[in-house]
Amino acid sequence: MRWRLSEKSEYPGDGVHSSEEAARRMEEKPRVMRGWRTGKIQKMEEEMRKTRMKGLVGTKAIRCYQCSSDTDPDKEDLCGAYTKFDKERNVPIECNSEESHMPGTFCVKYTEQSPRGFIWDGRWRQVIRRCGSISSTGVTGVCNWGVHENGIYWQECFCSEDACNAASNLMSLTTLFLTACCAIVTLSCFK
């Protein structure tokens, strides 16, 4: 395809060129882009090959419990929302396997609980245990908590050891509170 330009055409920064020169340069541009794209695709394919080779060498993935209380059969608490989590009924699953619901590099336990009087039986509660690949804090071994606008309390705990998301509370708020109180009392006594 030939571009129709005026007899004299100006390229920014190049000075004045004839319309033939301008048309030739405009036709060359797609070839440069095609070469750039091809190089980028080749790099991506090479990275994918390297990743597959790492998998063949035998890198070991973390194993986490994966369940959700909202998928439990009626009147069963397999994920430990209301009763202690049963490690005998659940098996930790390798996070990078096909069995895994979500791939990841660490384990997550997410809990939601309604305020008192939310439902006639006292409190509604939901627990999700799964693999995770991105945490909002970027730190594992910690628990974050908060309250949604509708009053539902939430807590998310991250850990990086096999089957570590089985604990009822990876670091309970009571333990954290008592540790902080002891530290404050100890520091105030030595002043």
24-56 tens-digit pLDDT:
665 554 444 444 445 556 666 666 665 555 444
Q: Considering the chain, what percentage of its residues have pLDDT values greater than 70?
A: 51
Q: Is residue 148 included in any domain, yes or no?
A: yes
> Could you tell me the residue range of the domain that residue 154 belongs to?
63-166
Inside any domain, residue 188: no
Whether residue 85 is contained in a domain is answered as yes
Tell me if 82 is assigned to some domain: yes
- Per-residue model confidence as pLDDT tens digits over 126-179: 999 999 987 666 666 788 899 999 889 999 999 989 999 997 654 444 554 455
- Residue 30 domain-assigned (yes or no): no
pLDDT at res. 142:
82
Q: Which of 166, 176, 171, 172 is nearest to 84 (CA)?
A: 166
Whether 161 is in a domain gets the answer yes
**Is the whole-model pTM more than 0.75?**
no
Strands (E), the chain: 8-11, 15-18, 63-64, 67-68, 93-94, 106-113, 125-132, 143-147, 153-159
Residue 6 has pLDDT above 90, yes or no: no
Q: For the stretch 27-64, what's the b/e string if a residue is b when 16 or more beta carbons lie within 10 angstroms of its beta carbon?
A: eeeeeeeeeeeeeeeeeeeeeeeeeeeeeeeeeebbbb
Tokens of 174: 């009571």
Higher pLDDT, 176 or 63: 63
Domain contains 125: yes
- How many domains are there within the chain? 1
